[in-house]
Amino acid sequence: MQAMNSSQTRKVLLVAGTRPEVIKMAALYQQLGEPDAKLDSRLCITAQHRDMIRPLMSLFGMVSDYDLDIMSPNQTLNSIVAKVSQRFDEVLADYKPDWVLVQGDTTTAMSAAIASFNRGSKIGHVEAGLRTPDIFNPFPEEMNRRVIDTISSAMFAPTTRSEAELLREGYDSDRVLVTGNTVVDALHIASEIPFTFDDPELARISDSDEFMVLVTAHRRESFDGGINRICEAIQTIARRWGSGINFVLPVHPNPNVKETVHSMLGSEPNVYLSTPIDYLPFINLMKRADLILTDSGGVQEEASTFGAPILVMREVTERMESIDAGLAKLVGTDTELIVDESCKAIEGGRKKAGLGDIANPYGDGKAAERILEFISSHD
């Protein structure tokens, strides 16, 4: 990033650690690196995810100034907290940022926010005000996001619904700004990049006329049975519809997900289990998909652009906007409900709203611009 510090220039430190944080920080990073940027900035990667962020950093041209290199296999939440707190403290001591921008609700974001608070840096929370009524669900994200908002000096709410939540909780309206979600900014950046499928199986599925279902599942609160029930549902649907339908399921590398998914679905001929798919092919699969089954927050937001019905496989969601707009349905991890709702969509055939017909309820692609304007004009 640029090094144009003068005594008056505000210093901003971006923090990211997992796949969705890198995607949702990309537009901010790129705008902070523009020659006329008014802020001095650095990027700190915790590497809570090591493998999954590598291709993203390269796609978005992101280079870290600090890399905490914390990931270990099957890591515990407290090991992430401990490593981030200790190693990020050294970054704060070195750079002495005025503002630290954290994104979302991961353990990286929460730990970096607490460390920043303790060092007296102001925190800007990108994607603030998302809430469910249950502190344990999603776990641990609901706690993380509430803690981050409590200690933030600026809360960048993606939608008016998240803004209303923050105001209802009593936060000062001067500290809350509705910006849109930076996930839509990233989609706009990606739509400019030329693309073809390198993976021959994805190319084959994408080119075929068959009904395609894209699936992602990774939530910690689903480890105790939810992932099994999701896999049972996919197995039932895949067998019922046979070769006329293709499932694509990029398997999250978390061992709690990977082992179950491979053992339950590994021998279904019409279920393609792949390693995590790079962002560009993944968003092109969302464009191509006739039905999307997901427990991912980011996928729920992005898929709203592409017109396929979305079934959200979680008990509660903090992203009600697409549900209220009729773009998504909340089905939990109940096998029967997932099967029934999927079969309804499959019976409806391959018809979906055309691209561009739908206004994404989560943002308009200008969130990063609004966030940086706010930071530039607030001490």
Dihedral angle, C-alpha 266, 267, 270, 273, nearest 10 °: 20
β-partners of residue 248 are: 214, 272
User: Would you tell me how many other CB atoms lie within 10 Å of the CB of residue 195?
Assistant: 12
- Catalytic residue, candidates 21, 40, 98, 127: 127
The answer to whether 247 touches 272, Cβ cutoff 8 Å, is: yes
Q: Does 19 bind ligand UD1 (CB under 6 A)?
A: yes
Q: How far is the CB of 308 from ligand UDP (least distance, A)?
A: 14
| 119 is an active site residue | no
Stretch that binds ligand UDP, among 95-103, 221-229, 271-279, 363-371 (CB under 6 A): 271-279
Q: How far is the CB of 87 from ligand UDP (least distance, A)?
A: 22
The answer to whether 4 touches 92, Cβ cutoff 8 Å, is: no
| Crossing angle of helices 367-376 and 19-32, rounded to 10° | 60
Q: Does 226 bind ligand UD1 (CB under 6 A)?
A: no
Q: How far is the CB of 178 from ligand UDP (least distance, A)?
A: 20
| 127 is an active site residue | yes
DSSP letters spanning 43-84:
EEE--SSSTTTHHHHHHTT---SEE-----TT--HHHHHHHH
| 252 is an active site residue | yes
Residues contacting ligand UDP: total by CB under 6 A: 16
| 188 is an active site residue | no
Q: Does 299 bind ligand UDP (CB under 6 A)?
A: yes
53/100 with CB nearer ligand UDP:
53
Residue 77 interacts, among ligand UD1, ligand UDP, none and using kind-specific CB cut-offs from 5 to 8 Å, with: ligand UD1
Q: How far is CA 107 from CA 21, 81, 111, 162, 255, in A?
A: 11, 7, 6, 20, 18
| 218 is an active site residue | yes
User: Would you tell me how many other CB atoms lie within 10 Å of the CB of residue 358?
Assistant: 16
Q: Would you name the residues annotated as active-site residues?
A: 105, 127, 141, 218, 220, 252
Binding residues for ligand UDP (CB under 6 A): 19-20, 23, 216, 218, 250, 276-277, 279, 282-283, 296-299, 302
